[in-house]
A and B are shown apart, each in its own frame.
Chain A
Amino acid sequence: MRAARLTVLFMAVLTVLLLSGCFGSRETDETAYVLAIGFDKGEKDNMVVTVSIANTKVIAGASGGGGGGGAGGAGGAKEDGRNVLVQSVETYGPLTGLEQLSSVTGRHLSLLHTKAYIFSEELAKEGLADWVSTMSRYHELRATSYVFVCRGKAKDFLEKNQPPLELSPTKQYELIGSLSRAHGFYKNAMFLNFQQDVKSWSVEPSLPLVAIHEGGLETAKPGLKKGGGYDPGRYFAGELPVSGANKAQIMGTAVFRGSKMVGTINGEETRYYLMLRGEFENGFFNFVDPVIREPASIGFTVHQARSPKYVTSINEDGTVTIDVDIYLEADLSAMLKDINYENPDLKPIIEEAFSTHIQQGCQKLIKRTQEEFKADIFNFGYRLKHHFWTVQAWRDFNWLERYPEAQVNVTVHTRVRRSGLMLKTSPAKED
């Protein structure tokens, strides 16, 4: 009995000793959490890896009412109180870079909370397949992280990106996803989307564009009354004429063929791209007033009423015809001239004009992707797959090579459902 009690006691003590920790355990104060990681082409080695590390000291201080994040330039967190610490290393690859940076920070760099992977345009043009594969293998990767292509250097973007309203830097990247639904100037892409598209035989990948805007309002392009365009999305990231606190911009889309970037489309074209994929949610559009026919525009708040209808056919010679019907619903949001478009008799005029406007934009973009990029970024391949019973037959058809020859016809159907808080427009008296 005594021996049994002693054994139980011994086992209990042993359990306490054995359960006190595990091999390779890391406390949170031994780890530095990388919130965003950037990749640029290197001068002397393969690449420059830049990490944006959470500065827990500042974040904790700020959340406790002690101020913190916000102002300050790039560089160390301590001097300017930034909530992130940005560091770069010229290295062979992402994981090598992380190890090298660990030796400087004095902590293990963890990607468990990384929200954004940012590749420079230069690197993207060389191809990202190898790096995607490397990251995918890494046990700390989270496939729901966002991926971006940076016009200019990713290092500069991470150093100068200071979201003024966010205490936690990760929140900015998380909000980027939901904000895309509010205007459609970019398409949010997670790692898993890009990884799949790179390997798919049905679609080519695309990633949102980010950049740092240098300067202020001088990058503005001429507007409608100055002989220019009127769509708010006619810019790329970094060109948007905004002055103010944060210099980081997200607008437009990088187009890939395979894993290599082959071109870019701006914010306006990205909206057409989203509509053609059936992923456009909301956005404000300007278009030329069809009655006045002078530099005056009408503003619609538009959302995609339902998924587009795709009718695909493969002709005897192997060419493909795709008919896409896009269904939009609009709210009449802005008018610069006093015409009573709320009148049901006049409404079809603006609906027709807007449909034509979007239709032309879509057709123009499709032509660009066929002739300039030779890349189906619209998921048309997915709609064609049902013509094939097996993977081999689909592969033999080689859709991505055939895409430039495909005939794509777009028809847009617009219905103006509401007119805001005004049901009638009365003309103002002449001055």
Chain B
Amino acid sequence: MIREGKFGPAEAIVLLALSSLSRNFLSYPRLLVEIAGPAAWMTPFGGLVLVLVGIYLISLVLKKNPGHTIIETTEQAFGPFIGTAVNVLIVVSAFEMLGALFLREFSESMLTTTLRFAPISVIDFSFLAMGLLGAYLGIEALARTARLIYLYVLAGLFITFFSLIPFWNFYNLLPLFGKGLARDFLLGTYATAGISEVILAAVIVQAMGGVTYFTRIGYSSMLISFGILIMLLATLVLTYNWPVSEEFTLPFLRLSRTIYLGRFFQRPEAIFILIWTIIGALKISLMLYGAAVSLARSLKLPDYRPLIWPLGLAMFIIGLLPLDMPTTVNLDNIMRRVILIPNYLLPLLILAVYWLKGRRGRAGS
């Protein structure tokens, strides 16, 4: 029996929302501007709807097997052999790969902006060390840390958004439908729905208080996270028109460096980098924790902690494999599509299996 600790719904909401916010600090907003141009702010709407549907589907799955997580439920649905294979190959791998790519992207971003001459392995290792410590201390410690820092993170974000009002040009939001409704909503949904927090919530569901709170926590955290993403995209396009915004490597950094409220309030990006580092460490911890706990549950191990070290090492090595930053960003975009499998396809398959089993059972009786 893995001891994960317990925390309340408020901690869980903040934890998942902050984890999901981490992509906003990387080049991800740029991708959405590239997809929809001036209508970039519309792209998360479709993704939000899909994410809420995904959470609902997972809640249905978890209700089939109360007291257990998605890992045990998958195994119960598909049988021990296929179930374990699905868990390891899809869920554990997804956490591991996402963690590795986040690790690399955060490190590359640090190299691009502040620590320009540091070897990437040193920065990678520093982030990983924070991730290892976080994962070792466990999900309860991470959740309580998230609860402690979320106000500072939100304050940093909102100060950035509203300090840029003098630079806003509302005409930058026109033409209203950007590059076309199909791109805004279809490609936008495709690009925004792939977040790891949906499956992560299903893995840590028991620590969050069980399936009773699952939908409430999931919906609230995603509404916060997507709300902030929409605000960020709107601020980005209002401040820099889309042909310029889609060029930025780190749009949020560019925004924070643009703040200029007279001669006495400028250059607040130092605060931003602090927030960025905290969120980065939290995200990597969570991915490492998710991978270790999922693997431990799949292999029926009594403790997940011995797995942190080998998984952390693997994350470090995988993170260093991409040749350069553009390749890392491309791989990250691919992983956003891959994560759609455990988020949406897996629960649908489990529900289908339960339905078939039920039908067969009813036919047999």
Contact = CB atoms under 8 A, between A and B. Distances in A.
Contact of B175 (A171, A383, A391): A391
A383 B169 CA distance: 12
A199 B243 contact: yes
B177 interface: yes
Interface stretch (A136-144, A243-251, A268-276): A136-144
A136 B260 CA distance: 17
Interface in A96-145: 136, 139, 142-144
Contacts of A394: 175
B263 interface: yes
A224 to B, nearest CB: 39
B240 A385 contact: no
B175 A393 contact: yes
Nearest to A170: B263
A63 interface: no
B237 to A, nearest CB: 11
B167 interface: yes
Interface in B212-265: 239-241, 243-244, 247, 254, 257-258, 260, 263
A174 B263 contact: yes
Contacts of A393: 175
Contacts of B167: 192
A429 interface: no
B38 interface: yes
Interface string B144-161: 000000000000000000
Interface in B89-117: 112-113, 115-117
A167 B169 CA distance: 35
Contact of A382 (B118, B171, B176, B263): B171
A24 B247 contact: no
B172 to A, nearest CB: 8
B333 interface: no
B257 A23 contact: no
B329 to A, nearest CB: 16
Nearest to B269: A142
B163 to A, nearest CB: 12
B175 A390 contact: yes
A200 interface: yes
Contacts of B171: 202, 379, 382-383, 385
B363 interface: no
Interface in A1-39: 22-24
A9 to B, nearest CB: 19
Interface string A378-401: 010011011011111110000000
Contact of B177 (A136, A195, A202, A390): A390
A388 B37 CA distance: 14
A425 interface: no
Given A136-B247, A386-B174, A390-B177, A200 B116 contact: no
Interface in A168-211: 171, 174, 192, 195-196, 199-200, 202
Contacts of A383: 171
Nearest to A379: B171
Nearest to A178: B262
B327 interface: no
Interface residues of A, number: 28
B32 to A, nearest CB: 15
Contacts of A136: 247
B177 to A, nearest CB: 5
Interface string A255-281: 000000000000000000000000000
B178 interface: yes
A385 B169 CA distance: 13
Contact of B179 (A24, A379, A382, A391): A391
Given A23-B118, A139-B113, A196 B179 contact: no
Contact of B116 (A139, A379, A385): A139
Contacts of A200: 241, 243
Interface in A392-415: 392-394
Contact of A195 (B175, B244, B266): B244
B180 interface: yes
Contact of A24 (B117, B169, B243, B257): B117
B112 A139 contact: yes
Contacts of B179: 390-392
A24 B119 CA distance: 10
A303 B332 CA distance: 52
Contact of B258 (A23, A24, A192): A192
Contacts of B243: 196, 199-200
A174 B262 CA distance: 9
A402 B87 CA distance: 60
B122 interface: yes
Given A144-B258, A192-B167, A391-B175, A199 B244 contact: yes
Interface string A53-71: 0000000000000000000
A309 B200 CA distance: 52
Top 3 nearest A-B pairs (CB, nearest first) are A24-B117, A23-B118, A382-B171
16 contacts: A23-B117, A24-B115, A24-B116, A24-B117, A139-B116, A192-B240, A192-B258, A196-B241, A196-B244, A199-B244, A200-B243, A385-B171, A389-B176, A391-B178, A392-B180, A394-B175
Interface of B: 37-38, 112-113, 115-119, 122, 167, 169, 171, 174-180, 239-241, 243-244, 247, 254, 257-258, 260, 263, 266
Given A22-B115, A199-B241, A391-B175, 11 more contacts: A22-B118, A24-B116, A24-B117, A143-B254, A192-B258, A202-B171, A379-B171, A390-B178, A390-B179, A391-B178, A393-B175
